[in-house]
Every structure is written in C-alpha cells, then in structure tokens.
Structure 1
C-alpha cells in the first residue's frame, strides 16, 4: 500500500478500448492502475472497425502504431474504398476512394493514416502494451461489485467471477469505462439524456471464403447494398473470408432472433447460393444519448458509459479513446502534484462539446442509410433503371461524402472555451464537418508537419507540456522553463528550425498540452509565467509536492 493509503492510484472498470487507453495514458506516466473486466478476454461483441487518424496518432505517441499495423488481419495497403451498389452481384452506384483517410500516402495534416481493423485486434494490441507498463495490471474475470467514495479516495469491492470471492481495493480515483450499461454511471446517479431506440439493427459476423471472388466491385472496406429487399452493408474482417454484415433499420415489429441470418445475407448480397457459416449475431439499437454528468467526486465516466450514438462515421470508439486521453493526463497531473484543483473539472467541460458535435454528425449520417437511398425501379434493366441508378448515385455522392471525409470532425474538435485554455483574442477557424484547416488557435489540435528528416513534428513533443519555438534559438523561453521547474511541471523546449512553422502556428511560441492541443500561443511570453502555467494546469500556484518522473519531459 502506498503512502497515501491506497493500493493503487486509479481503478479502471472495463478493459475495452477506452479502459485500456486510459491505463496506457496513466501507466506511461508512472501512475499505478488496475483495470478490471468481468469477461475473460477482450473483444466481445466488437462492432468498431475504424481506428481513425486521431486514434492512430495516440497509438504513435504510445509507440504501438506499427504494432497495430503488423497485427491486423487485413493488409495495411488494402484499399480504403467504400462502394455503393444495388447488391454484390448488381450494378455499382457510387464509390469513395481513400475513405476515412486510410491511404498510407503521407499527408502533412496528420502523422498517421486511419486503419480498417477489427476492434478485437486493436484491443489485444492495447492490452499487451498496457500490461507491459510498470504499475499497470489488467484483471479479467473480475467484476466491480460496488464502491464508496469518501472524498479522500475510493474503496471498491472486486468480485472474482469464477469463485465469487470478493476483495477490497483502495484507490485515489475510479474511471467507469464499463460501456453502455455502465454500473458506475448508475452508481453515481448519472442519467442518459436524449433520444433512445431509433430503430433495430442486426450485425452478423460470418465466414464466406468465396465471397471476395463472387463480385466485380473490387476490394473495399465497406460495401453498401441499396435495394428494397434488404438494404444493408458488409465488409471484410480479415483476408481469409471473415465478414461482417449489417441489416440497417429492421422494421420495429420484426424480432431479429426470428430472422434467418443466412437468408438475410443471401438476399442482401444477391448471392442466393453463397456458402455461409455464421460466427456471431449481435442485434443492437441505435441511440443518441449523453450523460447529464460525467463525474461525481473521485469517480469519472468515459466512452460509452457517458455517450451513445449510431456508428455511422466510425466515431464512437475513437471518441471514447479521446476521453481516456483527456482524463488520463489530467489525473496523472493531479496525482503527481502539478495539476491544480480545477484541472479535473475541465474534463467534462472539454469533452461534452466534442461529444455533442460528433454525435450530431453521426445522427446525420445515420439518416442516410440504404433505406433512405433506395428508389422504385432501382434494379430494373433498361433506360428507366439506368436513369434511376444515376439519380441515386448522385444522391449518394452528395449526401454520404461527409461520412467518409471526416477530418473536420476527427481533427477539428477544439477546446477554446475551456477554463484551462488561454485565449489570444484571435478568431477561431470555422468549424466544418469535412474541411479541416490546421490552426494553432488556443484549444485547437497543434498543427502537424512532416519535418525534413522524415520525422513527425509530433514525435518531438514531450510527454508533459511542450513549448514550441517556431523560430529563433529559444533564448527568450527561459522564464517559462524556469517557472515550470519551480512548479514541478514537466516541460520540454522544442526548436524544430522549420521555416514553415511560423506561418502554420501564427506565433513565435506555442505551449502544447500533453494531449497535443494548444494551451497558449504568443510572440512573447507573458510577464507572469507562473500565472500562465497555473491557468493551463487548473490552478497550480505552488511547487509540486510529488516527484514527477524524469521521463515526463
């Protein structure tokens, strides 16, 4: 037990992508944490397949982006195409190349391309890395039975699922990353608000090795089938014949359990004789819900525990990992003594706006699935059918482009209204669902660049704060680095010497947070550097009382 009287620093309920990401964010900073998961492994009911640009940038920061690429059952250079057709053996209606920015061609806007990879593969890569970090333990078959927050810490009762044995663990904080039916959310009295149960959907995992050669649409990560019989979509889960199939918006009077999944797939694809082996069935209901509170005392919610929305756009899992990053560095800062009393309060204020904006986009995308796109006569031969297909193709290109060109959402989320962001009086960039314009406006993601030596600018940011000098020799940075040293705040001075940076950042200096968002920028440091650091760390005004690991800077 530590000097604080706690067995660990942070207990994390849930070993899905969000819980594991939180453990990594904390563990790489030397914070002791325990992840408990009531299942016996990762990867139950995996729906997510898109690890987006921003999440892969976090993986790069953690040193495991290449590991996910190597672990994927789908080749890294597999084309990131999305195809719309009437059926797999029917005419093509529209096509989106480089959907979700999955091309491996280097782009100055980001350091990592998106990757189409089953969620369970990502979870296993995250689990292996989390478990390799000193002070991080992942315990499966272990359920969080109850907990009590006395204001000084959290005492939790952990139940061994197999034996029923219960043990007690004391921690400074608790993170509920325990999914849509979160017991932690219920225990703190948080309520989900919004619109629930849009419609029934049916996700099927199946094996059909012959499917890849039974159509002429070429390789793609998703095939949308637009027809009156079974509007649906499917895509590969590996290169050996494992696929997912999603029937969208089943009629409310239809029980998914009553539907023959093999016949559903055959009808949707148009391949009546396709040999199919059903691997898994996952009926689900689309929601648009956000928790009315994200925390109570020393207990915090992240991921599906505090927000739910339709999966169209691939935002959900990735947004949850973003929660883990934001909460993780802040918890570490408070535990290590350089985070102030208001730092943790900024978690909800920063993330809620991101959640609401992203969820609104997902709902728009969900409003244009195959059911809405189909038109009478779409599959008819002859001139009338051809004209209908051209019309539908034009509608698809106009309405679905925003679902597959998502950088405005993925990279354009910002925290300019946050109490720990210092405004500079400039106008923020215009928010757009597709268009992403790099900006160092305080609160925005730090603009990226590939440097002359082939490295990413992000590769040179520190684990704590980074003071980026876009020009000069950094001599005028001394007052800030000295103030950081007095406060025990991890700060790295970065001098890339790239002539493109002054224009890209709009200032000579930029203070970058641990999550790579801009906390402050200016052509000269303020007179009171300690006051600046106090604001961006939530009110730190005196030297840290806890030792910050040497690796933090």
Structure 2
C-alpha cells in the first residue's frame, strides 16, 4: 500500500511529493500528460514559496534556473509596441526584485514554471517519490482504511491502494467532481485567451531592458508579453486566432520581419472559483483543484504550493501515529480562507491593476479604499484563524509577522546566513530569547535579542502558541496534535 497517492504532476503535485518526502513519507504521483510540461503557465515565485523551497534545500537550485532581474527589471510596463517604446524613460514598478527584510528568502528574478517543475521533479524522485507520467486516474473509492484507485497507462489499467489521496489535478479536476464538492465564486471571466509560447531574439528591440510583464496596446495586436528567458523565449497572451500568431507577435513587437518560432499554444480562460470544501474523508484538494485564482498578483500557484506545505506535515504526523486523524480537519479550516483571500484580492486587482503595480505611496490609500491588501500580505502576512481586515497592517507585512498565534514566525538573522525560520527544522520547535533559560530544558532554541517571547512554532513555520511556562508545553502539544 502506498502512503499517499497524488493525482496531478504539475507544480503543486510535485511540491506535495517533495514536502511529504521531506517528512519521511513516500508518495506515488500520477500525471496524465506524457511528460513534464514545457509550456509555463506562471513565472512568479513568491517570497513564501521561496521560504518553503529554502526549507527543502532547493532555493539555490531554483535561483540557478531563474532569470536574473536583480536591480534591472522594470517589473510591469505598458507600451504600444516594443520597438516603439523608450524604456530609458520608464521607472520600475512596485514589483521589482530586491531582498526584503521580513524574509530570508532570496529570489533573483522570475522562474518559468517548467524550470521550477524540473527542480521539483528531480528532488521528488531523489527523495523517494515515484512519478508516473502518461498515467490517468480512472476511478477511486475510499473506506475507513484508505483509498482504492484504478489507474490507466500505456500498460493498461491497474489498481493501487493508498492511505490518502491528494488531488492536484487542476481547475477542472475529476477528483473534486467525483466527490461531489461544489464551487463558489464568479467562475469564468471574460473570453478565451491563447497563451502562445514563442522564440524570437528581441535583444535588438529591448537591449539590456528586463521586464516581467509587458502590456501591448497597439490595436493590431493587443495582449501581454511575459518574460521567459529575457532574450529569446517569451509568452504572449492574446485573443487572436493562433493560426495568425506569428503575424500578431510581429505586430506586437513592432518588427514585421521578425523571425518567430511558435513552440506551443495553450488556450485558457480567467477563472475565479473556490471549492466548498478542501477535503472529504481521506481525499484532499490542493492548488487549482481547490481554488482558481485570476493571474494578476501571481497568487494562484504560490497559494497552491502553500496548500501542499500545510497538508504535508499533517499527513506525515498522522501516518506516523504522532497525531490523531482530527489534525487533518485543520487543513480545510486553515487553507480555505487563505484560498478565498487570494481569489478575492486577485479579483480586486483585475478591476484596477494599478492597485497592484503602482509604487506611488499614495496608492496605499487607494488600496485601502478598495479593500486591497499589499501583495506580500496576501502571500505570507495572513494568519490562520483571523480575518485579513483584523491584521495590524494591510500594507507592511513586517507588522503582521509579530509572533502572534497563527502567523508565520518572525524572521530574524541569528548567524551568518541563518534565519530564525531555519531553526524550526520542519518540526515543533520553541524559539525563545537567550535570557529565557528556563526554556532551555524544554529543548528551546535560544536567540540573542529575540523580542517576541517564547513561541511554539509548528513544522510549517507558523506560530502555534505563545509560551508562559515550559510546564504547559506537553498539554499544548497534545491538544494541537489531537492526541489528548
């Protein structure tokens, strides 16, 4: 019997396999596509995702395949055509790449999803996961002891048993439908869009300029160009007929003689929807299967990775018998409000993109009037068990990371290259000030200058309890793990 069956081998499914392996749980990942996707659907890797990758020992590998935009990216730009733009007069948008002081994560630029998946696939397999491409889930049933799944592949059908099933099978996921879980939210928004992956050398047009996203306004070819490698590989989102993609791209660039190679085309539609439940028995929804988030803000993939991170340690503790099954009910309780926040914030940004991109300090007041919170708050400033409107700040995520229960534990450099987050080491850990010597006997990590008092931190880096005395710790852990 497999411990966990993961349906879907995209970014979130592979992340789940890596996170489970990190906690000693081997999984079987099945993906219906014949191999890893070469066409990236996303490029924005957020700070919280990079923190998680750092925990997994993968941050350097991801940065190695990312496009370097440190100090040179304009972020988001708008032009009539690329050739007609004067990039020297443009100021960087709010979304430029720098090292914030609220996180140890360091990201040097955008990372196309296919490159990120390559890192995750290698790590998953190296750490014991089995990843099977060209394999489709046909049906499944669950009982008190596990899940029985019928899989179809090149060799025919086979039946497998797993203790739990994680559905990472996307926005039209069959697992969610089979469970009869409904959806809330506006659903499909606007017309269909073609995501065109193309190769063209644009260095003669943009020079040394780097941007993450470029909106093209020319009536001949309106759309959005997204950087893949910053030189020769790009994505163009357009409503145009794919049969005319080369001519449309030439018009958007402003170079009628441009050599263009169309690599692939993915049709898609903007959606905003959230599952009414993120779990049913032994089956759990993660990523787009649980929530479809409009792209503005880059919240969708990053929220899905955080889903998998939240779920992985809980499954591991239950599978090892270190926690009661009731711990798994907290997955839906914690992650569904976060998915709803990501969806709502992306919808507000669709209505007025300036609220996301504009770096002018005056925009903070406009965001407040519109109910928009700053992107870092959406990605890592939320608190489990608390509404976003009750946070100390909707703008400055550092004010939200103050050691409160339910928040991500505060980051503080404790040695060269070592963060307080690193001291958690993916297990329940107490962090306390060096003067709190009474906590040393409880195994606390004592930190010079730690201003937050004793904090019990969960394996996923979130504060579970603010300590008063070490004597209370066993009872607190028992309640948290549902072993009482």
Mapped pair 1:24 → 2:8: no
Instruction: Say what the alpha-carbon RMSD is for the aligned residues.
Output: 3.0
Q: How far has the Cα of 1:430 moved from its partner?
A: 2.5
Mapped pair 1:40 → 2:3: no
Give the greater-gyration-radius structure (CA). Answer: 1
- Closer, same or farther: CA 218–397 of 1 in aligned 2, 3 Å: farther
Partner SS, residue 48 of structure 2: helix
What's the counterpart of residue 550 of structure 1? none
What's the counterpart of residue 422 of structure 1? none
- Closer, same or farther: CA 277–445 of 1 in aligned 2, 3 Å: same
Q: How far has the Cα of 1:171 moved from its partner?
A: 1.0
> Residue 210 of structure 2 contacts residue 230 of structure 2 at CA under 8 Å; is this kept in 1?
no
> Residue 429 of structure 1 contacts residue 439 of structure 1 at CA under 8 Å; is this kept in 2?
no
So what's the TM-score if we normalise by structure 2?
A: 0.89
> Residue 220 of structure 2 contacts residue 248 of structure 2 at CA under 8 Å; is this kept in 1?
no
Query: Aligned runs of 1:298-377 on 2, under 5 Å?
Result: 298-368=282-352
Mapped pair 1:533 → 2:477: yes
> Residue 416 of structure 1 contacts residue 444 of structure 1 at CA under 8 Å; is this kept in 2?
no
What's the counterpart of residue 277 of structure 2? 293
Q: Which residue of 43, 49, 54 corresponds with 2:48?
A: 54
Q: Which moved more, 1:398-407 or 1:431-440?
A: 398-407
Query: Aligned runs of 1:168-183 on 2, under 5 Å?
Result: 168-183=159-174
Unpaired stretches in structure 1, ≥5 consecutive residues = 1-6, 251-255, 373-391, 419-426, 482-491, 542-553
What's the counterpart of residue 205 of structure 1? 197
Q: How far has the Cα of 1:145 moved from its partner?
A: 1.4
> Residue 341 of structure 1 contacts residue 540 of structure 1 at CA under 8 Å; is this kept in 2?
no
Q: How far has the Cα of 1:365 moved from its partner?
A: 1.9
> Residue 205 of structure 1 contacts residue 280 of structure 1 at CA under 8 Å; is this kept in 2?
yes
> Residue 13 of structure 1 contacts residue 144 of structure 1 at CA under 8 Å; is this kept in 2?
yes
What's the counterpart of residue 148 of structure 1? 141
Partner SS, residue 12 of structure 1: strand
What's the counterpart of residue 469 of structure 2? 524
> Residue 14 of structure 2 contacts residue 120 of structure 2 at CA under 8 Å; is this kept in 1?
yes
> Residue 406 of structure 1 contacts residue 434 of structure 1 at CA under 8 Å; is this kept in 2?
no
Q: How far has the Cα of 1:515 moved from its partner?
A: 0.7
Q: How far has the Cα of 1:110 moved from its partner?
A: 0.5
Q: How far has the Cα of 1:277 moved from its partner?
A: 1.6
Partner SS, residue 50 of structure 1: coil
- Closer, same or farther: CA 16–434 of 1 in aligned 2, 3 Å: farther
Mapped pair 1:441 → 2:392: no
What's the counterpart of residue 214 of structure 1? 205
What's the counterpart of residue 108 of structure 1? 101
What's the counterpart of residue 380 of structure 1? none
2: CA distance, partners of 1:37 / 1:232: 31
What's the counterpart of residue 515 of structure 1? 460
Q: How far has the Cα of 1:357 moved from its partner?
A: 1.0
2: CA distance, partners of 1:400 / 1:197: 30
- Closer, same or farther: CA 510–443 of 1 in aligned 2, 3 Å: same
1: CA distance, partners of 2:360 / 2:457: 42
1: CA distance, partners of 2:124 / 2:208: 40
Query: Aligned runs of 1:227-242 on 2, under 5 Å?
Result: 227-242=218-233
- Closer, same or farther: CA 190–140 of 1 in aligned 2, 3 Å: same
Q: Which moved more, 1:78-87 or 1:21-30?
A: 78-87
> Residue 182 of structure 1 contacts residue 305 of structure 1 at CA under 8 Å; is this kept in 2?
yes
> Residue 226 of structure 2 contacts residue 235 of structure 2 at CA under 8 Å; is this kept in 1?
yes
Query: Aligned runs of 1:382-421 on 2, under 5 Å?
Result: 398=363, 406-417=375-386
1: CA distance, partners of 2:33 / 2:12: 15
Partner SS, residue 150 of structure 2: strand
Unpaired stretches in structure 2, ≥5 consecutive residues = none
- Closer, same or farther: CA 475–309 of 1 in aligned 2, 3 Å: same
